[in-house]
Chains A and B, each alone.
Chain A
Amino acid sequence: MAVVTLTIDDKPVSARAGESVLDAAKEAGIEIPTLCHLPGVSEAAACRLCLVQVEGRGRLQAACVTAAAEGMVVRTQTDTLREYRRMILELLFTEGNHVCAVCVANGNCELQTLAAELGMDHVRYPYLNPARPVDVTHKQYAIDHNRCILCTRCVRTCDEIEGAHTWDVAGRGTSSHVIADMGQPWGESVTCTSCGKCVQSCPTGALFRQGSTVAEMTKDREKLGDLVTARREKKWSV
């Protein structure tokens, strides 16, 4: 396998050809914040939180979809990046309705954790306070669109791991939202197998188990990646 060498935050790093800067950095112990990235499924590059600076390239690059290349010089922690990441988080919070104190994911939410880690102590933009529905028609699970950040992890997980492709995104701009099948209530979806993988994949409290109360929704995201690895490496004989 071809190997490339690059520099990330002044640290020499080697990576497999075609590997993303995000993965190469991770293997070298350098953490880049992400939200839409989920090990085990394809990248969507939807959240832009993983933005990095690459020398010689004018625009900021999303590390999850930028291939590591020979001689590349990457910066993951600069004032500009920190400012952009904070801005992105603030915009995510203004776009939905996030009331962490009463949220099922409180304490187990990737959005909340990142906001704390990246020092988002207040929001500078006006809140949009959109009117968004809660769909509790499914027997076991529910989706609260107020907390959805449109990362599409559920869409990709359902499509690529479960193979059901129940979820998709409808609408444009601020009216974008995830839909089940052709936009019917989740409980009426004919493709949903009720496997619950999307619930596990969701970084926020948008997808949750029915009846969960505050801070009760812990998610096991690693299971999804493990599932994919086990399948690829044929760890189970059927």
Chain B
Amino acid sequence: MKRIVIDPVTRIEGHAKISLFVGDDGRIADARFHVVEFRGFERFCVGRPFGEMPSLTARVCGICPVSHLLCSAKTGDGILGVRPPVAAVKLRRAMNLGQILQSHALSFFHLSSPDLLLGFDSAPAKRNVFGVIQAHPDLARAGIRLRQFGQDVIEKLGGRKIHPAWAVPGGVREAPGEQTCQELLAGIPEARATVRTALAFIKQYLDTHAEEVEVFGNHPSLYMALVRPTDHGWEHHDGVLRITDHTGRVVADDIDPADYRQHIAEQVEHDSYLKSPYYKPLGYPAGAYRVGPLARLNVCTAIDTPLADAELVEFRQRAGGVANSAFLYHLARAVEMLACTEWLERHLTDPEIRSTRHRAEAGVNNLEAVGCSEAPRGTLFHHYTVDEHGLLTSVNMIIATGQNNLPMNRTIAQIAQHYIRDTKAIPEGFLNRVEHGIRCYDPCLSCSTHAHGQMPLHVQLVGAGGEVIAEAKR
């Protein structure tokens, strides 16, 4: 069997490579996405006081520090055995919305738009954010400002200095003043306008690119996300887990995240440092599920804000019910960006967040706790055990990208099988499509490198005996 290797995969957050296995008939037989970096992060937290975890995790992952910060603070709430004051919860929510907004903006405008705006087969040297700036300066500028707005939300809520440990076990350290809230509210109209532009663009793209929707990871899988306990609506910070299948049937509902172990098991793969979680009752790999924007929109009943709910209805119509194509992640992110602007507005105008009570104090009351929240890329779990004094004795984290691992393999296999008919002559644009299949999931090889953008692409065709048959570099 021959093997084609794409290493490293460009324009994703982190370092990874793709291997394409060529069967005897000369067609692609299988595909694997491997993460080639190992951080061993869970190990080196052991022995530290649990209160340090929010800042430790936020510092180690440079891509979605806020997600880890919030999830870790929530886990800390559990160790303390407290419920944070309502102001703290809403402030944390607001920050998470800022994080989702900036991350989705990055994914669309910086990482994916080169393929969509300039074309998969456009010259690789220009197929990047700079090429987009040249060809579509207004859109590119708006995208950069949108991301900036999301970052502003994070920075302004977190105090003047960007504090790695703004969210702490029990609540948050500081609450923003009236003026800060007003400043942020002032930025919402422009942000919303940009999101609408992006939405319109993606919809139009989908109308004219049925092939991509059909081929980029269009396959059944389970979906998992947090939902509000009351009405099973869209949720990103608290709530219960819901799992649905590719037909929309609810497979498991109202799961307390603390019980995740009963529902989710993790498979360790020999060729990747990414752990592959799966839904236990269905086993491995049938229990593969997807998380992130696509899953959140698939499992929820509604978003509960007028603009986003209207888009959600259209999203479902376009998908024909359940969105099973990974290509629709792009649209899902745009819908979520709209939801973020609406929910942010709601929180920032809520008098409750002005309360001066935003941190509950307590000692170690539980020796084990699980925290769960929705990172931009999907459900994130932190699970800590501590000794009676609060020193960590074990740390387990389940990250969004890991949960999408199995579906990602499936997605790239599907794309490669469709586009690569002749493994002897592979046009560069086809390999780019394979990469784009990964980019749909916007993987954060969390706790990985910070590089994205201009990495060289190295492609190798390796024969059965391991010999390099052909090699291409860009």
A contact residues vs B (CB 8 Å cutoff): 101-102, 104, 133-134, 136-137, 139, 142, 144, 187, 210-216
B422 to chain A, nearest CB (A): 51
Instruction: Decide if A102 touches B55 in the complex (CB within 8 Å).
Output: yes
Bound-state Cα–Cα, A168 to B177, Å: 46
Instruction: Decide if B165 touches A136 in the complex (CB within 8 Å).
Output: no
Q: Given the complex, which residues of B lie within 8 Å of A213, measured CB to CB? A: 51-52, 54-55, 165, 168, 173
Q: How many B residues have CB within 8 A of the partner chain?
A: 20
Instruction: Decide if A211 touches B55 in the complex (CB within 8 Å).
Output: no
Interface of B (DSSP majority class): loop
For window 179-211 of B, CB contacts with A under 8 Å fall at: none
A206 to chain B, nearest CB (A): 13
Further contacts, 20 of them, CB under 8 A, given A134-B391, A136-B390, A210-B363: A101-B55, A101-B164, A102-B52, A102-B164, A134-B47, A136-B49, A137-B389, A144-B49, A187-B389, A210-B390, A211-B51, A212-B51, A213-B51, A213-B52, A213-B55, A214-B52, A214-B164, A214-B165, A215-B163, A215-B165
Bound-state Cα–Cα, A134 to B361, Å: 21
Chain A: CB-nearest residue to B73: A213
Q: Given the complex, which residues of A lie within 8 Å of B56, measured CB to CB? A: 102
Q: Given the complex, which residues of B lie within 8 Å of A187, measured CB to CB? A: 389
Provide 28 A-B residue pairs closer than 8 Å at the C-beta atoms, listed in order of the A residue. A101-B164, A102-B52, A102-B55, A102-B56, A102-B59, A102-B164, A104-B52, A133-B47, A134-B47, A134-B49, A136-B49, A136-B389, A136-B390, A136-B391, A137-B389, A142-B49, A144-B49, A187-B389, A210-B49, A210-B51, A210-B363, A212-B51, A213-B54, A214-B52, A214-B165, A215-B163, A215-B165, A216-B173
Chain A: CB-nearest residue to B388: A137
- Counting CB contacts under 8 A, is B48 at the interface? yes
Q: Beyond A136-B391, A214-B164, is A101–B363 a contact (Cβ under 8 Å)?
A: no
Instruction: Decide if B47 touches A211 in the complex (CB within 8 Å).
Output: no
Q: Mark B43-62, 1 if CB is under 8 A from A, else 0.
A: 00001110110111001000
Q: Given the complex, which residues of A lie within 8 Å of B59, measured CB to CB? A: 101-102
Bound-state Cα–Cα, A137 to B49, Å: 11
Q: Beyond A211-B361, A213-B173, is A134–B165 a contact (Cβ under 8 Å)?
A: no
Q: Given the complex, which residues of A lie within 8 Å of B55, measured CB to CB? A: 101-102, 213-214
